């Protein structure tokens, strides 16, 4: 065994120092105080403020169908600034321009970002702060799928899927959380997991993707515990099969039929059907939601 691969001295384990989590005490002076319990007298104002979204948000994979719909919904509920991080934001230039036309008072920007590159993410973070001033929410939509028999899967493909879906999500979450802590504002972080994180898909084999999404559920739990004292809430949504370009084409027509036939609702989901959960988790209506996973799948997960 080469020196670099040697195990640590067993005797040293007895004297190691292990850090301990610090939880919030929920006091008025903490970052997790109880909000006012007063009921709004004006019904219209009450409805508008219940799910109000404030500040600025980053959406990774934001140039994709689900990310764009999420951005639109967040802006409808009051988001001031939207930063789209995507590997190919130019592919959605027309859609991004439509958002700018629909929300002329909002600052809407897109950057080309590789979420697996720590330095690139940090550079994008600095540019985001320069353009928006602050960051109050993060939504991690970026992800790749790989449908291949596990006996035949190249290890390089396994590593790439976990690197993008899991490690890339952590890199972005850590960068944003550090900024939220330095701002002293707290914020909301939402991972986009999947029903694939909860059970094996059928009929397509996709072990790496399933594992990468299941890891996000535990990562969400860990960060929810560690970062709550900073006023940062970490949650996730688990979509079922959504009717996007990733699930189109004659090559998977039979798969689409199986997905629909095994769903109590008898169909795939529409991208707009995910936006309610997205808005809730970032809004004033979700201030006591931390470590939560919301499944949006038409009931597929019951089987």
Taking only the tens place, the pLDDT of each residue in 208-241 is: 999 999 999 999 999 999 999 999 999 999 999 9
Mean pLDDT, rounded, for 109-124: 97
Q: Which CATH superfamily is domain 45-302 in?
A: NAD(P)-binding Rossmann-like Domain (3.40.50.720)
Which of 188, 289, 207, 199 has the alpha carbon at shortest distance from 238?
Answer: 199
- pLDDT category, 143, cuts 50, 70, 90? very high
Q: Is the dihedral angle over the CA atoms 127, 132, 134, 140 positive or is it negative?
A: negative
Among 15-19, 42-46, 52-56, 180-184, whose mean pLDDT is lowest? 15-19
pLDDT of residue 246: 65
- Cα–Cα dist 2/6, whole Å: 7
Q: Is the pLDDT of residue 1 over 60?
A: no
Q: Is the pLDDT of residue 252 over 90?
A: no
Q: Is the pLDDT of residue 245 over 70?
A: no
Q: Is the pLDDT of residue 107 over 90?
A: yes
What's the pTM? 0.92
- pLDDT category, 243, cuts 50, 70, 90? confident
For residues 267 and 275, the answer to whether their CB atoms sit within 8 Å is: no
| Structure confidence by residue, pLDDT tens digits, 48-66 | 899 999 999 999 999 999 9
pLDDT of residue 17: 86
Q: Is the pLDDT of residue 292 over 90?
A: yes
Mean pLDDT, rounded, for 272-294: 97
pLDDT of residue 161: 97
Q: Is the pLDDT of residue 4 over 60?
A: no
pLDDT of residue 250: 65
Q: How far apart are the first and last CA of the chain?
A: 47
- pLDDT category, 13, cuts 50, 70, 90? confident
Mean pLDDT, rounded, for 64-70: 96
Mean pLDDT, rounded, for 111-115: 97
pLDDT of residue 79: 98
- pLDDT category, 247, cuts 50, 70, 90? low
- Cα–Cα dist 190/138, whole Å: 6
Mean pLDDT, rounded, for 254-283: 91
Mean pLDDT, rounded, for 134-149: 94
Mean pLDDT, rounded, for 164-187: 98
- Look over the chain and give the mean of its residue pLDDT values, rounded to a whole number: 93
Mean pLDDT, rounded, for 38-47: 90
Look up residue 115 and give its two tokens: 């979420």
86: left (phi over 0), alpha (psi -120 to 50) or beta: beta
């Amino acid at each position: 065994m080469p020196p670099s691969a040697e195990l640590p001295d067993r005797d040293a384990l007895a004297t190691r120092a292990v850090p301990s989590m610090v939880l919030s005490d929920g006091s008025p002076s903490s970052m997790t105080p109880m909000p006012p319990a007063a009921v709004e007298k004006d019904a219209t104002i009450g409805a508008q403020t219940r799910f109000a979204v404030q500040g600025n948000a980053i959406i990774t994979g934001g140039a994709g169908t689900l990310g764009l719909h999420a951005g639109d919904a967040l802006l409808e509920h009051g988001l001031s600034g939207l930063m789209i991080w995507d590997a190919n934001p130019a592919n959605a230039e027309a859609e991004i321009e439509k958002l700018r036309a629909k929300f002329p008072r909002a600052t809407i920007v897109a950057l080309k970002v590789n979420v697996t590159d720590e330095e690139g993410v940090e550079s994008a973070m600095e540019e985001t702060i320069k353009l928006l001033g602050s960051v109050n929410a993060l939504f991690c939509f970026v992800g790749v799928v790989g449908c291949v028999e596990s006996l035949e899967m190249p290890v390089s493909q396994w590593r790439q899927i976990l690197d993008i879906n899991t490690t890339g999500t952590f890199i972005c979450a850590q960068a944003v959380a550090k900024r939220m802590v330095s701002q002293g504002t707290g914020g909301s972080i939402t991972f986009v997991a999947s029903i694939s994180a909860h059970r094996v898909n059928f009929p397509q084999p996709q072990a790496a993707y399933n594992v990468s999404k299941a890891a996000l559920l535990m990562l969400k739990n860990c960060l929810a515990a560690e970062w709550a004292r900073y006023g940062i809430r970490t949650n996730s949504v688990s979509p079922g099969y959504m009717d996007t370009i990733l699930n189109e084409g004659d090559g998977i027509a039979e798969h689409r039929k199986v997905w629909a036939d095994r769903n109590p609702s008898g169909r795939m989901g529409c991208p707009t059907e995910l936006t309610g959960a997205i808005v809730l988790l970032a809004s004033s209506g979700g201030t006591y939601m931390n470590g939560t996973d919301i499944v949006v799948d038409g009931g597929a997960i019951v089987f």
